[in-house]
């Protein structure tokens, strides 16, 4: 099978790129022909198709009004992407295209282009872009679904971005692709969570969405059911990740328990200067991060945004760690409350503190939950099963065997 893999970044920039490369490498290992389409960048991994990548685009660079107008047009419809992916498709003749993160640089303009050449199209949903022009589904630090997949003028009329110019650009982008019916050309959407799938039905019919959880290579994670006596948070230090709620809960503990914070972000300096007993370790990766997770007693994911299928949760469970997560987005689909960890009401300091107290004072409970978490990962989130599921989707799409919706 010839598979065209499309993602705007061709290096590990975030969770969506991790999923992208996991799938790409699996199909390469299985002998399929993998064709790449992305954006040029000095950090890119090697690709034999890099000559077809579009020029690097950085919307944060300043420029004059003419430059800003040109950037705005390219933000909505990239003529370079359309031209280059057309050349690539003509040369390689892929059986199917699998799109991941394409917004703003590659743009959805490539979708109708692929269909004009008779290429089947599958798209993985990594965020809420189809129902929220800003993709975050947040306004002023709070959850927001005002657009609801239909009211695309909201970013402008409500000024949810704090910038009229940015709101206008996002409105124009959403309305342009709605009028052009760009997303109608996608044969099937893959949603990593039921939560995201249900939200996406505000815009896309349910029979065009298939739920397939993210996968993780469990063979690369050795479970560790002992610990060095600390709780762990690893991720972005920003308001929507609930880090302030976590620190307030930690400060409210009846029995103080060590807490390690890994990551950076806009709240980094402010949180470090506040009165807290937590230890801030900054950005960690590789073996350092792996050791921190493996030796933790439990991991906390206090998100206050609509998480999809959190890789933080999956990694922690793969190491045999119970996870305390907020009851929001797709997190409740990953954590079985009272079995593989605990769920708490988003933003509820006292409830989170109580869950931390339980795991910090009952180590045997933590071990039992960690073992259950590891079993759940092996049974429900293995990378091999995930990729086999993707392959089945490809075959169904190519064979026009799209089944009725599995949404409930």
pLDDT at 80 over 80: yes
Confidence of residue 59 (pLDDT cuts 50, 70, 90): low
pLDDT tens digits along 347-376: 999 999 999 999 999 999 999 999 999 999
pLDDT tens digits along 89-103: 999 999 999 999 999
> Are the CB atoms for 250 and 300 separated by under 8 Å?
no
pLDDT at 266: 94
Confidence of residue 164 (pLDDT cuts 50, 70, 90): confident
In the block, tokens 């420029």 appear at 63
**Beta strand pairing status for 231-234 and 142-143?**
unpaired
pLDDT at 389 over 90: yes
Confidence of residue 135 (pLDDT cuts 50, 70, 90): confident
pLDDT at 71: 72
pLDDT tens digits along 376-385: 999 999 999 9
Question: From the CB of residue 339, how many other CB atoms can be counted at a distance below 10 Å?
Answer: 14
81: CB partners within 8 A, 6+ apart: 54, 105, 106, 107, 109, 110
Look up the CATH number of domain 218-380.
Answer: 3.40.50.2000
Tokens of 110: 């490539």
pLDDT at 62 over 80: no
In the block, tokens 């090697």 appear at 46
Higher-confidence residue of 15 and 401: namely 15
Confidence of residue 119 (pLDDT cuts 50, 70, 90): very high
Q: Give CA–CA dist 21/107, Å, rounded.
A: 20
Higher-confidence residue of 406 and 104: namely 104
pLDDT at 157: 84
**Beta strand pairing status for 96-99 and 120-124?**
parallel
pLDDT at 402: 53
Instruction: Return mean pLDDT, the chain.
Output: 92
**Beta strand pairing status for 188-191 and 209-211?**
parallel
pLDDT at 258: 97
pLDDT at 202 over 80: yes
pLDDT at 342 over 60: yes
**Which residue, 380, 63, 329, 34, is CA-closest to 193?**
329
Q: Give CA–CA dist 138/346, Å, rounded.
A: 14
Confidence of residue 205 (pLDDT cuts 50, 70, 90): very high
Q: Where are the domains of the chain?
A: 2-215+383-398, 218-380
Instruction: End-to-end CA distance of the chain: give it in Å, rounded.
Output: 32
**Can you tell me the mean pLDDT for 148-152?**
83
pLDDT at 390 over 70: yes
Task: Return the half-sphere exposure (C-beta side, CA atoms, 13 A cut-off) of residue 201.
Answer: 15
pLDDT at 33 over 80: yes
pLDDT tens digits along 247-279: 999 999 999 999 999 999 999 999 998 877 899
Q: What topology does CATH give the domain 2-215+383-398?
A: Rossmann fold (3.40.50)
- Judged by DSSP in three states, 328 sits in coil
pLDDT at 408 over 80: no
pLDDT at 271: 92
**Same CATH topology for 2-215+383-398 and 218-380?**
yes
**CA-angle at 245, arms to 332 and 194, nearest 5°:** 20
- Express as a percent the part of the chain with pLDDT over 90: 78
243: CB partners within 8 A, 6+ apart: 233, 235, 237, 261, 265, 267, 271, 302
């Amino acid at each position: 099978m010839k598979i065209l893999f499309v993602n705007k970044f061709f290096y590990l920039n975030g969770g969506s790129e991790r999923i992208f490369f996991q799938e790409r490498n699996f199909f390469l290992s299985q002998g399929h022909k993998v064709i790449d389409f992305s954006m040029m960048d000095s950090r890119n991994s090697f690709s034999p198709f890099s000559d077809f990548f579009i020029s690097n685009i950085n919307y944060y660079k300043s420029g004059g009004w003419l430059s800003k107008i040109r950037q705005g047009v390219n933000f909505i419809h990239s003529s370079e992407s359309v031209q280059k992916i057309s050349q690539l498709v003509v040369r390689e003749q892929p059986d199917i295209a699998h799109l991941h993160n394409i917004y703003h640089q590659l743009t959805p303009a490539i979708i109708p282009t692929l269909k004009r050449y008779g290429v089947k199209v599958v798209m993985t949903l990594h965020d809420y872009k189809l129902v929220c022009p800003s993709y975050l589904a947040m306004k002023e630090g709070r959850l927001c679904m005002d657009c609801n997949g239909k009211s695309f003028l909201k970013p402008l009329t409500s000024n949810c971005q704090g910038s009229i110019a940015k709101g206008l650009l996002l409105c124009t982008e959403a309305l342009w692709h709605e009028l052009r019916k760009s997303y109608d050309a996608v044969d099937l959407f893959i949603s990593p969570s039921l939560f995201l799938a249900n939200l996406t039905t505000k815009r896309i019919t349910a029979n065009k969405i298939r739920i397939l959880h993210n996968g993780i290579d469990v063979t690369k994670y050795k479970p560790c059911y002992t610990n060095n006596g600390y709780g762990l948070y690893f991720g972005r230090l920003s308001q929507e990740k609930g880090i302030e709620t976590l620190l307030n809960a930690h400060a409210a503990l009846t029995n103080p328990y060590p807490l390690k914070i890994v990551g950076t972000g806009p709240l980094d300096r402010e949180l470090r200067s506040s009165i807290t007993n937590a230890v801030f370790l900054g950005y960690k990766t590789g073996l350092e991060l792996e050791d921190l997770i493996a030796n933790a007693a439990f991991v906390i994911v206090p998100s206050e945004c609509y998480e999809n299928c959190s890789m933080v949760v999956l990694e922690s469970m793969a190491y045999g760690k119970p996870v305390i997560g907020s009851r929001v987005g797709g997190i409740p689909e990953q954590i079985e409350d009272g079995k593989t960890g605990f769920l708490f009401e988003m933003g509820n300091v006292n409830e989170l503190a109580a869950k931390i107290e339980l795991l910090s004072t009952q180590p045997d409970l933590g071990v039992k939950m960690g073992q259950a978490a590891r079993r759940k990962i092996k049974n429900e989130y293995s990378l091999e099963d995930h990729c086999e599921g993707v392959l089945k989707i490809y075959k169904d799409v190519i064979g026009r065997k799209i089944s009725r919706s599995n949404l409930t």
